[in-house]
Amino acid sequence: MPKSRLTPAQKLADLLHSLKCRHNHTDACSWGYITDRWTLKEGQKKYDEPMLEYFEMAERILATFDYGQAIKFLSAEHGPKVVDNAIRQLG
């Protein structure tokens, strides 16, 4: 799915993963190998791991804060430059 069509929860999940995942992406995290991670297959009701973990985290955050507030919170936690760079890298 094109980045422009992602929901706020999907965008936030991508950002949370880029900021929080500390796994070795060659053998411990499949995030980078799933090219169309936000498209559910026919009959699939929820995302596979690791997308589900970050998507649910994003939904919990967005149940209380809007996307802009979530970005401010992450900027306070990780530093604005780190969050800005991560957003830029995600496209």
- Centre a 10 Å sphere on the Cβ of residue 13 and count the other Cβ atoms it contains: 27
**CA–CA separation, 27 and 61 (whole Å):** 29
pLDDT in the model for residue 70: 94
Residue 30 inside a domain? The answer is no
pTM, entire model: 0.81
Tally of domains within the chain: 1
- Per-residue confidence at 90, pLDDT binned at 50, 70, 90? confident
3-class secondary structure, 76: helix
41 is written with which tokens?
A: 């297959």
Q: What is the pLDDT of residues 48-71, one digit of tens each?
A: 777 888 899 999 999 999 999 999
Contacts of residue 70, defined as CB under 8 A and 6 or more positions apart, other chains included, come to: 12, 58, 61, 62
**CA–CA separation, 45 and 56 (whole Å):** 13
Residue 64 inside a domain? The answer is yes
The percentage of the chain sitting over the pLDDT mark of 70, rounded to a whole number, equals 85
Residue 16 inside a domain? The answer is yes
Q: Which domain holds residue 60?
A: 8-20+46-91
